[in-house]
Amino acid sequence: MGDNKLDLLQGTLDLMVLQTLAAMGEMHGYGIARRIEQVSGNEVLLNQGTIYAALVRLQQRSWISAAWGASENNRRAKFYTITRRGQKQLEQDTAYWTRLSGVMSRVLAMGEKESS
């Protein structure tokens, strides 16, 4: 149910999109949305529509680029690729998130150790 799903933190969706493109190469919007859902094990509350706001934002920052092409079923679709600048940004953001989550888990673990 939606109630149990995680609300996305501000800015995390952009990072997820970047990472997906970096890992999977060229993808269209629907593919990215599906991929994120799959990887997150359907734990993320994602209106697939919000992906398009993220995509246009990343495009305006020149972190990804887009081109029309044909999908696997020969449908017209817009395909996105990560750019060089996007790669650099992704590295920075990844480092940041890793540090942040490390710190967060250490801080949160502190209480557990004491109680156990």
Closer residue to other proteins, CB minimum distance, 3 or 115: 3
Dist CA 84 CA 98 (whole Å):
21
Min. distance of Cβ 59 from other proteins in angstroms? 8
Closer residue to other proteins, CB minimum distance, 26 or 93: 93
Exposure string (b/e) for 4-41, b if CB count within 10 Å is 16 or more? eeeebeeeebbbbbbbbbbeeeebbbebbbbbbeeeee
Q: Give me the residues that bind other proteins (CB under 8 A), please.
A: 11, 28-30, 34, 47-50, 52-54, 56-57, 60-62, 71, 73, 75-78, 92-93, 96, 99-100, 103
Min. distance of Cβ 66 from other proteins in angstroms? 9
**Token output for 66:** 């887009």
